[in-house]
Amino acid sequence: MKYLIVGLGNPGEKYSETRHNIGFNVVEKLTELLAGSFRIDKLADVSELKFKGRHLICIKPSTYMNLCGKSVNYWMQQHKIPLENLIVVTDDLALPFGKLRMKGKGTDGGHNGLKDIQTTLNTTAYTRLRFGVGNEFNKGSQVDYVLGEWSSEERETLETRIEIATEFIKSYTTIGLQLTMTNWNNK
């Protein structure tokens, strides 16, 4: 059984510690915990992992957030991964910092990465793991906020929340969407 796990973010050192790159951070932690490593490949940095008999293909698109649908589509086709085995990890301004929420479908919520995936795949029916980054910004400062670095208070619990996000993903690949949402959405 193959799964495509997409961490959303922007490539490059200047974005590595920003809120918008939490998807990258989660797939990097999953790869580390499962003793894998990333390689540079077509349209993404890729790690291939084994977990409880499952084949997990983790990608960090190199196309930048606004064009990540191209990378997602390519890797789904490359590995013949069905839509129901796709999970996208993304930042979410509508959730308080550190809150994790898995959903099986939904709108893009104004997120350019999700918007591009939705347009490219022509569906909103794919699983996403939303990582709350809060919304502590003044009107008109949304871009600066998501491209800003974590506060010192956020950094105190960030690693723990990232590790919990990896548990969501492992659960999803073993017991499926519904049980994962039931067991983990309120953690």
Reported as a single tens digit per residue, the pLDDT across 24-68 is 999 999 999 999 999 999 999 999 999 999 999 999 999 999 999
Q: Distances in Å between the alpha carbon of 44 and those of 1, 10, 75, 176?
A: 21, 11, 9, 26
Whole-number percent of the chain with pLDDT over 70: 100
* DSSP assignment string, 81-150: --GGGEEEEEEETTS-TT-EEEESS---TT-HHHHHHHHHHT-S-SEEEEEE----S-TT-HHHHHTSBP
Predicted confidence at residue 15, as pLDDT, reads 93
pLDDT of residue 6: 98
Distance CA 159, CA 165 (A): 10
- The predicted-structure confidence for 141-171, as pLDDT tens digits, reads as follows 888 898 999 999 999 999 999 999 999 999 9
- Give the span between the Cα atoms of 62 and 47, in whole angstroms: 14
Active-site residue, selected from the candidate residues 20, 55, 79, 111: 20
Q: What is the pLDDT at residue 109?
A: 87
Q: Which residue reads 């994962």 in tokens?
A: 180
C-beta of residue 72 within 8 angstroms of C-beta of residue 117: yes
pLDDT at res. 9: 95
Q: In this predicted structure, what is the pLDDT of residue 137?
A: 80
Domains and CATH numbers, the chain: 2-184 (3.40.50.1470)
Q: 71 near 44, Cβ under 8 Å?
A: yes
Examine the pLDDT at 136 and tell me if it is beyond 90: no
pLDDT on residue 140: 76
The pTM (predicted TM-score) of the whole model is: 0.95
Looking up tokens 């084994």 gives: 50
Measured CA to CA in angstroms, residue 100 lies from 72, 117, 185 at distances of 22, 20, 6
Cα separation, 91 vs 130, in Å, equals 6
What is the Cα–Cα distance from 82 to 74, expressed in whole angstroms? Answer: 12
pLDDT value at residue 135: 85
- Say whether pLDDT at 138 is over 80: no
Give the tens place of pLDDT for each residue, 65-124.
999 999 999 999 999 999 999 999 999 999 999 999 999 999 888 899 999 999 999 999
20 flagged as catalytic: yes
